[in-house]
Amino acid sequence: MTYTPPLRDIALAMKAAGFDDLIELFPEADHATVEAVLDGAGAFAADIIAPLNRPGDLAHATYANGKVTAAPGYAAALREFAEGGWNSLSAEARYGGQGLPKALEIAVFEMFNAASLAFGLCPILTQGAIEALAAHGTTEQKAKYLPRLISGEWTGTMNLTEPQAGSDLAALTTRAEPDGEGGWRITGQKIFITWGDHDAADNIVHLVLARTPNAPAGVKGISLFVAPKRILTADGKAGAPNELRPAGIEHKLGIHASPTCVMVFEGAKAELVGVEGQGLAHMFTMMNAARLQVGTQGVAIAERAYQQALAFAHERRQSRSAWTGESPAPLWDLPDVRRTLMLIKARTAAARGICLATAVAADQAHHGDAKAKLREELLTPIAKGWSTDVGVWAASEALQVHGGMGFVEETGAAQHYRDCRILPIYEGTNGIQAIDLVGRKLSMEGGAAMTALVSDIRETARALKGDLGGVGDRLGAAVDAMAAGADWLSARKGTPDALAGATAYLKLCGETVGGWMLAKQAHLDSRMGPLATLYAGQVLSGVPGQLAAVTQGSAPLEAFEG
């Protein structure tokens, strides 16, 4: 149940994802600083957060008398997290941030989430609130909220969905009405609010979607508001309670230490953020930040599950070794078990690479690189969708390595599976990510984003041709399928045929781009060679055949009567 931060793997993935290209943009992110940050984060994750994971799963966050109490140890750890400056890595220096690359923050947050997914969710939401307010808040709002959110003194939430709405935000009914004093009053109910209430911070800053009077129906009638748990005093401190409260917490499959709240707003004082009627567009700043972070959570849980399954495979003895003849031999000496573990590690490294490459592009885009912005936009649904699917798959396969012992709670393998099953649902289900990919991202700038990505992958495939046991050839065939799928889908944009092939295409893209990232890692470090070779034979080899699922069309769906 211990966790060892994979510092060498993370550093390699950062390099393969292009992190060195950021040093010119972030001079303070020199190699010594990056190494020190990674080392410190790894120690905090392993020593402070990880020991809370299993006890938090058993004890749960609790709700009583209108208040939420974090699972034992979590409030103290979150305060220590804030005191250590871990919440401020990529934030702007003028508001108290350290101004380091987003890619470094993503690398660090992988370790925090691997230590405890329930813990990592709280700062992830705070990071999203910081980015939304930094992008769309007024000068006064930034001055009031950003310093304390960045320091971690306060935490943030995202209040979108409602009982009748689910992912259909056009169905939101929470309303905001002018208070006659330049502010607003919010009334309504929100559900599934992660860390919506707790005792780990002095204040909680809620970002809330609501409808203003006479707003049009649909998403164009939605505006974004900031409503703190405690109303700010004249000197900017947390003062009297606002008219909002948790009505309870959800009883969930996993992440028991993370309080998922039903939040009730009863005329809560709030401020408009950005432009009235542009709330969904503004909220997408927060959602996109969260999508990359949730993708990284998929990487994190895959790594954590792998480490536990690997340790079990070395300790557990049964059957005869296929290589030495020893009997009973460690499970590690059974070819199918070793294949399973290697594939978990390979897919984890591939997903890690995608998330870090997305973050590198985001850092470059922040500094005005238009091509990098296209790359970030294109990779985000793949990073979120494919990486979270990898997390669930890895947790399931790691449980399988344990056999029947994995199905019993005492080993802890089941917790990883229970905890991560939410990830493909969070921040827009993976079906929504697929629709975003084929409906919006493929057509950006006339398809320039996908064209550039295909070109880069083909360049790597050509460079590796005949190397690493055929990795280059497999990668080349896979990227050809990715390009062909993009052409087919783009020609049918918005049709049922394109929508029917969206999920299959996201999977195809994830496996191809992941294979590219893994190949680049293997090119830099020979110890990754066996993983890249196995991935090419077991995963990339099947990608061209997936094109049939992408291009099948919607006729079978339309004909099915249920």
- Contact, 352 vs 9, CB < 8 A? yes
Cβ contact 230:242 at 8 Å = yes
pLDDT at 1: 66
What φ, ψ does residue 30 adopt, rounded to 5°? -75, 170
**8 A C-beta contact, residue 327 and residue 387:** no
Query: In Å, how far are 21, 362, 470, 477, 519 from 458, measured between CA atoms?
Result: 21, 22, 14, 9, 12
Percentage of the chain beyond pLDDT 70 is: 100
Lowest mean pLDDT among 186-190, 215-219, 314-318: 215-219
The answer to whether 546 and 481 have CB atoms below 8 angstroms apart is yes
* Helix segments in 137-206, DSSP class H: 139-151
Distance CA 544, CA 199 (A): 51
Q: Which residues contact 488 (CB under 8 A, 6 or more apart)?
A: 501, 550, 551
Per residue in 217-268, pLDDT (tens digit) is: 888 889 999 999 999 999 999 999 999 999 999 999 999 999 999 999 999 9
203 forms beta bridges with 154
DSSP 330: B
Give the 3-state secondary structure of residue 303: helix
**pLDDT mean over 175-186:** 96
Is the bond into 101 cis (omega within 30 degrees of 0)?
no
Distance, C-alpha 228 to centroid of its chain? 25
CB 38 within 8 A of CB 7: yes
121-150 burial string, b = 16+ CB within 10 Å, else e? bbbbbbbbbbbbbbebbeeebbebbbbbbb
- The pLDDT, as a whole number, for residue 416 is 98
Average pLDDT over residues 1-30: 95
Which is it for the CA torsion 399, 2, 14, 419, positive or negative?
A: positive
328: preceding bond cis by omega (within 30 degrees): yes
Q: What's the whole-number mean pLDDT along residues 103-117?
A: 98
Look over the chain and give the mean of its residue pLDDT values, rounded to a whole number: 96
Euclidean distance between the first and the last CA atom of the chain, given in angstroms as a whole number: 44
Residue 472 has a pLDDT of 96
Mean pLDDT of the region 90-118: 97
Is the pLDDT at 166 greater than 80, yes or no? Answer: no
Distances (CA, A) of 196 to 19, 167, 204, 238: 34, 18, 8, 16
- The mean pLDDT value for 455-475 works out to 93
Choose the weakest-confidence range: 63-67, 164-168, 206-210, 399-403: 164-168
* Residue at 298: amino acid letter: G
- What is the mean pLDDT of the segment spanning 179-193? 96
Q: Kindly report the pTM of this predicted structure.
A: 0.97
Q: Say how far residue 10 (Cα) sits from the centre of its chain.
A: 16
Structural tokens at position 30: 């020199």
Report yes or no: 385 and 296 within 8 Å, Cβ to Cβ: no
Cα 187 from Cα 28, distance rounded (Å): 45
**CB of 110 within 8 A of CB of 300?**
yes
Q: Is 455 a residue whose pLDDT tops 70? A: yes
The DSSP H or E segment spanning 289 is helix 279-315
Q: State the pLDDT at residue 469.
A: 81
Tell me what pLDDT residue 287 has.
Answer: 83
Q: What would the two tokens of residue 188 be?
A: 């309504």
Query: Which residues fall within 8 angstroms of residue 243, CB to CB, at 6 or more apart?
Result: 185, 265, 266, 267, 268, 269
> Collapsing DSSP states into helix, strand and coil, what is residue 120?
helix
- Positions annotated as catalytic residues are 427
Per-residue pLDDT, 219? 85
